């Protein structure tokens, strides 16, 4: 199966798709690349205070639009949970975890500033999730320049799965992320590649990368 575990294609609830029209366009492009299933994972962060109810509402709206439009792709919903003190403790306290494929939880770090994690210890938070019988996925570590390879490998050794972005390999975030992502793939550290789809720029860059002879991974 060609499954995408990570995307921001639900309309208007984070920094991804802005309108339902754009959402449909993004999903249709992904279907045309061969994806059988897309998991919608809106951010839950200090800036985007999404709840499962809010996500469900937009998920239903997009599902309906795709069936009207005849786009042949299965849609599922989850979230991308950021480790920050403003939302993550709430997620656990309110039981807001929505596992991907019944087992995975996307747990992102702040992109640029580790200090935004506050006092949260990522290893401790990963272990909490694992104690619930779930497997944490760390998305796009190639984009966290403050995260050392050794620390990342300590997470992997503890059972965390690594997900890199197709866009990183395609150069969407610059040379440094591209180099880091390629190295992680070559070293066999990456369990999953995902689109992290946000907008049409992603479609363009990932589309070019696929046209150049690269392929989607299958799970
Ligand atoms: Fe994301």
Full set of structural domains in the chain with CATH: 3-211 (3.20.20.140)
Phi, psi of 200 (to 5 degrees): -70, -20
- pLDDT value, residue 123: 98
- pLDDT value, residue 23: 98
Q: How far is the CA of 72 from the centre of ligand 1 (A)?
A: 23
173: CB partners within 8 A, 6+ apart:
142, 143, 165, 167
- pLDDT value, residue 98: 98
Q: How far is the CA of 80 from the centre of ligand 1 (A)?
A: 6
Pair 132, 140: CB distance under 8 Å: no
Whole-prediction pTM value?
Answer: 0.97
- pLDDT value, residue 174: 97
Query: What is the average per-residue pLDDT within 132-158?
Result: 98
Per-residue pLDDT tens for 23-75?
999 999 999 999 999 999 999 999 999 999 999 999 999 999 999 999 999 99
Q: How far is the CA of 196 from the centre of ligand 1 (A)?
A: 5
Computed over every residue of the chain, the mean pLDDT equals 98
Q: How far is the CA of 70 from the centre of ligand 1 (A)?
A: 26
Q: How far is the CA of 105 from the centre of ligand 1 (A)?
A: 12
Per-residue pLDDT tens for 152-201?
999 999 999 999 999 999 999 999 999 999 999 999 999 999 999 999 99
Q: How far is the CA of 119 from the centre of ligand 1 (A)?
A: 22
Q: How far is the CA of 211 from the centre of ligand 1 (A)?
A: 23
Give the number of other CB atoms < 10 A from CB of residue 209: 17
């Amino acid at each position: 199966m060609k499954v995408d575990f990570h995307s921001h294609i639900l309309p208007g609830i984070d920094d991804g798709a802005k309108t339902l029209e754009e959402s449909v366009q993004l999903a249709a492009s992904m279907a045309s690349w061969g994806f059988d299933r897309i998991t919608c994972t809106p951010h839950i962060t200090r800036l985007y205070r999404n709840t499962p109810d809010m996500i469900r509402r937009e998920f239903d709206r997009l599902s309906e639009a795709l069936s009207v439009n005849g786009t042949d792709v299965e849609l599922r919903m989850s979230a991308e949970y950021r480790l920050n003190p403003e939302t993550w403790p709430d997620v656990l306290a309110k039981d807001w975890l929505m596992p991907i494929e019944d087992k995975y939880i996307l747990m992102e770090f702040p992109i640029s500033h580790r200090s935004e994690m506050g006092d949260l210890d990522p290893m401790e938070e990963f272990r909490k999730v694992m104690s619930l019988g779930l497997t944490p996925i760390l998305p796009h570590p190639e984009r966290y320049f403050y995260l050392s390879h050794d620390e990342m490998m300590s997470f992997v050794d503890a059972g965390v799965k690594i997900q890199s972005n197709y866009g990183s390999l395609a150069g969407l975030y610059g040379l440094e992320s591209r180099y880091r992502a390629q190295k992680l793939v070559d070293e066999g550290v990456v369990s999953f590649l995902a689109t992290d789809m946000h907008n049409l720029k992603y479609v363009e860059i990932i589309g070019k990368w696929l046209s150049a002879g690269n392929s989607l991974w299958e799970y």
